[in-house]
Structure 1
């Protein structure tokens, strides 16, 4: 066992000893005379590891004072319980070069009442740790409380951390929570903004993720659960008729809303319930429906499923504009010619594509742009509104087929000419199988190298369009005497514009003709049986066959 020297300067280290001074080891004040808050009792520390001898010479800074030890002997015996640790020897003037630098205590905390007191090493004093004399006394094992289990709130907060993000407030809340737990007061969970924010994010995702359709459905279910049966009329209506227009893509709630506004049903909720309860009612199409006011929702659904309730204008493939105008006048209960006058005056404002032509030679600028289909048309609607729907549909279809790009590939100048070819294919072709061959006939006759007809189309359909007729028996004298540019017996090339509204079948065939060399055709039975020929001699044979069937 190593002893301290008995000479001066043998006082144990203290937070205010020369090690902590401003000027190294010398020039520090001694600590004699300071009163310990322990009433003279030595402070108890774990016994230090073995140290080498202090130098018996006087240490600077202690003014030659011999500091007594608790046992009064002037030296302290140390227990060797801390065996295995590196011995550090302090010599006069510094540390042993072979030793390891010991742990140096920090400067005293001014706020610590005990930090300024001298420290005594009581090597012979008993260790009160874990005994009844310890303060505070240890809690018996039987009375010890188990460590509190982690609150489930922590896990929940971590789960919401991604949605809420990290911030200084959240860090402070966690720090306060940790302090409460360490003090045994952490039972009350901390309400985290993360949880509230996470729930809010989930609500937003559900609302927008479900879409309007889902919101409508759950809104209806909520209405049913909260208020019971939706308001509804009884019976088949009061006899007063009304037309309701249903736009393309409208769902049950939109249809119900429009019917309620028109006075047909009492509530949109009642219509949705009737529609979802009726098999096949989800197939109600867009259009104008002639209904009655104050109908029960079930009666309105049944009537809308009947095609006879629809007020619509149907444009058939190949139909001329003159026929479409007349149908609109009839549906809107307008005088004959009313829609034609509107078309002539307002065609520029109906949405035609930029490549459409309206020269003086074109008979009708809207010809070829009233796309075949079914369109709402009922009393009270305006002709220009119906025409605009048709033009919009044609514009969208033509853009989807890329007519501008396809025209040049087929030897044409522009998309307008391509629509014109489509109208000729539709008018001359009798069946679906005819369309591609008919398209090839048109392209072959338009070629500059055509020596069979010298670029003359010679189509009866163009002359009939000019005259507003559908006559296949036209004399050569009559045809040759008419100078109109629509007379393709006299004028080479295409007519000034379309001669009808081509449907999708004819349009597709126009874009994808055959390449078999067809240049002639004859409807040998006078109606549907069209036959094709590659030479003039074959054409004459087909002509004789036609004359025989027609009794000529």
Structure 2
């Protein structure tokens, strides 16, 4: 008895066997008969089980054993009424015996081929030969000391008809063996490859993980380096490398990261040395003495700032002031600062905002002044001065800055600023009968005179009719008298509301006391005379 396609037959394979010749595998089977070469197979009688579609072969009834469906598995003997294919055979209901030829539904004769007999299986293996491991221990011919011609001759046709997998090997004798030389060459190539890989591996490691190039020591000479606003560690390192201060950017960044204060390096101009170690460069930049910046302090006048700029730029005295007076409209002032103010002595007064600025030889006055004006404009924009001026009954935003400059000049401490601001606004009121809208500030007189005096003669004050003289002219001066800082600006926008009308620096220097009435003011004046020896 033979199982379908995989058991053993009682007789050996024979050329006349229907599974071997042109009959059987390639022959036609009649509908309703399952045969090997057309003969009906007999098995012990078993109850017939219906298969898919109710037909013999792939679609018919098989007596005795369950039928194997090559598209659906073994027949499970389900109820004949259950037909997952709608009552038709998988291949369109055409009856075919086991091993018989059926129509090709996929356009190719190889679709779902039945198993081949042993002879044909050998033929398939011969058509796609695998790698030959060689005669000894499965090694390749190259390592078996054989000549190439010995091992890779063509395969002959004997394997196709006689059942052999590979052809005869030819020409084993009489040729010079080259295996030792080949191994030597391979060893040299392998050693060379390792050497190259090791060299490039070391170079890669140095590039990626090795210490960055760096100078040693504290350097020599002197060079000026400007660090812009918002510069990162790599930006600073690039500037220093370009100037010849450090050898590599990575070395500087590493040194900056190791220093706890490394991230506090600010924008500005630094006096550095050539060929410094990265660590020394970081230390020097953290030293305030290295910064070659011009620091504008709160309340500093423009006339002082112009002179300092000329010194640092190594320009003749008066160069920066002359440029400012001629080109003030080109330096970035807000529109409201360009309005008609005919009596303003310096249109940039109040716009050289207190801060630290890079100013070094080689720069132009225009560059320095633009930087300062830009900073002031940004600061003032944050206050929304136009709406604040209206709320404070002032003419325009420039008046707000003028009030702040007066507060900055007259107040001795930040604690005084809001009280001083209230004094200004109370004296500007039309209802003021104490001073009749005269501010009477010494600071405005000193500004117009370009001085800083405490003791001013009454004659000088009362005879001077300059618009900036608040002893003889009512209201605010035409423009700011200094560059106020943040605290003074805040006080100008939010004064106290306690009724302060007078103030006196009773010690002549740092202590300011306030009064609400003229009588209280006279008492403070006596205190001032006693402390300063004045009449």
Normalised to the residue count of structure 2, the TM-score between the two structures is 0.64
For the residues of structure 2 that align with 1:48 and 1:314, how far apart are their CA atoms?
Answer: 100
Q: Which of 480, 485, 493 is the matching residue for 2:475?
A: 493
Match of 2:219 in 1: 237
Match of 2:237 in 1: 256
Contact residue 445 and residue 519 of structure 1 kept, 8 A: yes
Query: Taking structure 1 as reference, are residues 530 and 47 closer, same or farther at Cα in structure 2, changes over 3 Å only?
Result: closer
Match of 2:373 in 1: 391
Query: Taking structure 1 as reference, are residues 37 and 238 closer, same or farther at Cα in structure 2, changes over 3 Å only?
Result: same
For the residues of structure 2 that align with 1:82 and 1:424, how far apart are their CA atoms?
Answer: 107
For the residues of structure 1 that align with 2:78 and 2:350, how far apart are their CA atoms?
Answer: 106
User: 1:402 deviation in Å?
Assistant: 2.1
Contact residue 236 and residue 296 of structure 1 kept, 8 A: yes
| Secondary structure of 2:327 counterpart | helix
User: 1:333 deviation in Å?
Assistant: 1.9
Q: Which of 449, 452, 461 is the matching residue for 2:443?
A: 461
Contact residue 444 and residue 519 of structure 1 kept, 8 A: yes
2:327 matched to 1:323? no
Match of 1:364 in 2: 346
Structure 1 residues 158-183: Cα deviation after superposition (integer angstroms, max 9, x where no partner):
xxxxxxxxxxxxxxxxxxxxxxxxxx
For the residues of structure 2 that align with 1:375 and 1:497, how far apart are their CA atoms?
Answer: 24
For the residues of structure 2 that align with 1:545 and 1:498, how far apart are their CA atoms?
Answer: 30
Query: Taking structure 1 as reference, are residues 224 and 426 closer, same or farther at Cα in structure 2, changes over 3 Å only?
Result: farther
Match of 1:470 in 2: 452
The count of aligned residue pairs is 372
Q: Which of 406, 412, 423 is the matching residue for 2:405?
A: 423
Contact residue 506 and residue 524 of structure 2 kept, 8 A: yes
| Secondary structure of 2:337 counterpart | coil
2:50 matched to 1:46? yes
Contact residue 422 and residue 500 of structure 2 kept, 8 A: yes
| Secondary structure of 2:213 counterpart | coil
Query: Taking structure 1 as reference, are residues 409 and 400 closer, same or farther at Cα in structure 2, changes over 3 Å only?
Result: same
For the residues of structure 2 that align with 1:104 and 1:311, how far apart are their CA atoms?
Answer: 95
| Secondary structure of 2:300 counterpart | coil
- Segments of 5+ residues of structure 1 without an aligned counterpart are 1-35, 51-68, 72-80, 87-101, 120-134, 138-221
2:523 matched to 1:541? yes
For the residues of structure 1 that align with 2:273 and 2:323, how far apart are their CA atoms?
Answer: 30
Aligned pairs for 1:422-461 (under 5 A) are 422-461=404-443
Contact residue 51 and residue 80 of structure 2 kept, 8 A: no
Aligned pairs for 1:63-74 (under 5 A) are none
Aligned pairs for 1:134-533 (under 5 A) are 226=208, 228-239=210-221, 241-357=222-338, 359-533=341-515
User: 1:225 deviation in Å?
Assistant: 5.1
Query: Taking structure 1 as reference, are residues 436 and 48 closer, same or farther at Cα in structure 2, changes over 3 Å only?
Result: closer
User: 1:456 deviation in Å?
Assistant: 1.1
User: 1:501 deviation in Å?
Assistant: 0.5
Contact residue 386 and residue 397 of structure 2 kept, 8 A: yes
Query: Taking structure 1 as reference, are residues 330 and 41 closer, same or farther at Cα in structure 2, changes over 3 Å only?
Result: same
User: 1:410 deviation in Å?
Assistant: 1.5
Query: Taking structure 1 as reference, are residues 82 and 502 closer, same or farther at Cα in structure 2, changes over 3 Å only?
Result: closer
For the residues of structure 1 that align with 2:321 and 2:505, how far apart are their CA atoms?
Answer: 33
| Secondary structure of 1:443 counterpart | helix
Structure 1 residues 447-506: Cα deviation after superposition (integer angstroms, max 9, x where no partner):
111121111111111111000011122222211221211011111111100000111111
For the residues of structure 2 that align with 1:401 and 1:519, how far apart are their CA atoms?
Answer: 26
Aligned pairs for 1:18-37 (under 5 A) are 37=28
User: 1:245 deviation in Å?
Assistant: 0.5
Contact residue 435 and residue 506 of structure 1 kept, 8 A: yes
For the residues of structure 1 that align with 2:208 and 2:457, how far apart are their CA atoms?
Answer: 78
For the residues of structure 1 that align with 2:374 and 2:62, how far apart are their CA atoms?
Answer: 108
Structure 1 residues 379-418: Cα deviation after superposition (integer angstroms, max 9, x where no partner):
2222221222211111111111222222212221221110
User: 1:103 deviation in Å?
Assistant: 9.1
Contact residue 49 and residue 82 of structure 1 kept, 8 A: no
Query: Taking structure 1 as reference, are residues 48 and 360 closer, same or farther at Cα in structure 2, changes over 3 Å only?
Result: closer
Query: Taking structure 1 as reference, are residues 47 and 291 closer, same or farther at Cα in structure 2, changes over 3 Å only?
Result: closer
CA-based RMSD of the aligned residues comes to 3.2
User: 1:515 deviation in Å?
Assistant: 0.3
For the residues of structure 1 that align with 2:53 and 2:87, how far apart are their CA atoms?
Answer: 15
Contact residue 53 and residue 87 of structure 2 kept, 8 A: no
Match of 1:161 in 2: none
For the residues of structure 1 that align with 2:226 and 2:501, how far apart are their CA atoms?
Answer: 48
Contact residue 49 and residue 83 of structure 1 kept, 8 A: no
For the residues of structure 2 that align with 1:244 and 1:458, how far apart are their CA atoms?
Answer: 47
| Secondary structure of 1:355 counterpart | helix
